[in-house]
């Protein structure tokens, strides 16, 4: 297992991982899902008691959670995270309470899907200077050999990776940086659940890591979400097994800065 994968797993399982991750991926719950009438009474009781912990546990016991939120699958797979991430629980329950009981039931009767673009959220986080540097233009990036992060659109970053770094793939570039003279290409993914599209997202990041490039260029998968949940009594995720069986440069965005400055 890669060292930075290990500390990402430790962070996700021991600290307020979801609360911290919200700074990187500030998702807004938009999609409303069907509610199971059998446990509606428990939802109402918790709602009226202003007990967010009981409320979210009741909502998680539904076949379909009533509100679309990228952090909900994590809480469903690892209920112990509810106590460790009170801000995330309060944020989700706050949205539920804004609807009121009647509106909540009404909206839960008709699911509404909304797609989220994680790449732009990650890029916005990078542009905030959280890595200790602000992204710069290609002209400035190439003008010296100092630590730097390249600014640009998806197309700009992919073009640079192809022209200058010998990157042999037509997708998968969310970060280009240079630290201590070493070039890094990174793809960022938020894996909110198992199966379907989420598997494709995970495999995309793995493909970026294995893509050919110029000698010395480091390719990394900046991944977050359910992949870091440790198996408990047969639970956990298949992705967890994949990232721990080999020494793959996969890490949470929350430890990216430590990785870059360690090069």
pLDDT along the chain (263 residues), means of 10: 96 92 77 63 90 91 79 92 96 88 71 52 93 96 97 94 94 92 94 77 87 94 92 70 91 97 96
> Quick one: 171 and 240 in the same domain?
yes
Angle, CA of 77, 109 and 57, to the nearest 5°? 30
The whole-number pLDDT of residue 101 equals 84
Q: What is the pLDDT of residue 233?
A: 64
Which residue has 């949205």 as its token pair?
Answer: 95
Per-residue pLDDT tens digits for 45-83:
999 999 999 999 988 887 777 777 889 899 999 999 999
Check whether residue 167 and residue 247 sit in a common domain.
Answer: yes
Whether 177 is covered by a domain: the verdict is yes
In the chain, where do the E strands start and end? Answer: 148-149, 175-179, 182-191, 218-225, 250-251
Q: What pLDDT does 156 receive? A: 94
pTM, two decimals, is: 0.69
Residue where a domain terminates, one of 78, 108, 138? 108
Residue 5 pLDDT: 97
Question: How far is the C-alpha of 87 from the C-alpha of 221, rounded, in Å?
Answer: 27
Q: What is the pLDDT of residue 113?
A: 41
Residue 129 and residue 87 share a domain: no
pLDDT, position 115: 37
pLDDT score for 194? 75
Same domain for 86 and 130, yes or no, is no
The reply to whether 7 falls in a domain is no
Question: For residues 84 and 65, what is the distance between their CA atoms, to the nearest angstrom?
Answer: 20
- Domain, as residue range, for 137: 118-262
């Amino acid at each position: 297992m890669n060292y930075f994968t290990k500390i990402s797993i430790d962070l996700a399982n021991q600290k307020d991982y979801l609360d911290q991750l919200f700074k990187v991926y500030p998702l807004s719950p938009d999609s409303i899902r069907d509610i199971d009438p059998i446990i509606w009474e428990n939802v109402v009781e918790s709602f009226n008691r202003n007990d967010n912990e009981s409320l979210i546990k009741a909502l998680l016991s539904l076949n379909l959670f009533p509100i679309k939120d990228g952090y909900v699958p994590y809480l469903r797979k690892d209920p112990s995270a509810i106590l460790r991430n009170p801000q995330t629980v309060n944020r989700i329950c706050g949205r539920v309470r804004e609807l009121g009981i009647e509106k909540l039931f009404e909206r839960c009767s008709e699911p509404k899907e909304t797609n989220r673009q994680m790449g732009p959220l990650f890029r916005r986080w990078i542009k905030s200077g959280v890595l200790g540097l602000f992204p710069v233009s290609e002209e400035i990036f190439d003008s010296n050999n100092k630590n730097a992060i390249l600014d640009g659109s998806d197309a700009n970053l992919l073009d640079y990776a192809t022209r200058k770094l010998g990157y042999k793939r037509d997708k998968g570039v969310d970060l280009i940086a240079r630290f201590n003279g070493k070039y890094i290409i990174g793809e960022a993914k938020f894996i909110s659940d198992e199966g379907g599209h989420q598997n494709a997202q995970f495999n995309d990041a793995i493909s970026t890591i294995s893509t050919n490039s110029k000698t010395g260029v480091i390719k990394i998968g900046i991944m977050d979400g359910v992949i870091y949940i440790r198996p408990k009594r047969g639970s956990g995720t298949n992705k967890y097994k994949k990232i721990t069986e080999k020494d793959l440069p996969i890490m949470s965005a929350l430890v990216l800065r430590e990785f870059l400055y360690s090069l």
